Amino acid sequence: MSRVAEAALAAVGTRFRLHGRGLDGLDCVGLVALALRAGGYAGEVPTGYSLRGGDPSVLDRVLVRVASAAPGDVLLMAAGPGQIHLGIRTATGFVHADAGLRRVVERPGMPPWPILGVWRMGV
């Protein structure tokens, strides 16, 4: 399994916290940053955003867009009107910071939301 997917799975159970960046609390951006750092990413992580909106083009500046998801890939999803959401693909599903459940969880299978794009660290 990829180090990115392993790090995401290790964060399962961590509480949800908007703009959270550590194991004391994570949001979807913080989860992805934590997982990518385990895979070697050392760049900046966006901050100061709201629960709705966002600029997904930041992913194109740091990752490579791919056609289909493999374990460790970053998923960009449309979770609701004007709401984008990130997750990490695993071998059996995906990990994401679930604001409703107030924690990081792994869900089996593919996300229930439309996938807007998939990115991978250095192909």
Question: How do residues 60-97 score in pLDDT, each as one tens digit?
Answer: 888 899 999 999 999 999 998 888 999 999 999 999 99
pLDDT in tens, 24-74: 999 999 999 999 999 998 877 766 666 666 667 778 888 899 999 999 999
User: Across residues 101-118, what is the average pLDDT?
Assistant: 96
Nearest to 1 by CA among 9, 11, 115: 9
Enclosing domain of residue 15: 3-120
Looking at residue 27, its pLDDT comes to 94
Whichever domain contains 49, its CATH number is 3.90.1720.10
Total domain count for the chain?
1
Question: pTM of this prediction?
Answer: 0.91
SS3 state at 15: strand
Cβ-proximal residues to 67 (8 Å cutoff; 6+ apart), any chain: 118
* pLDDT surpasses 90 at 112: yes
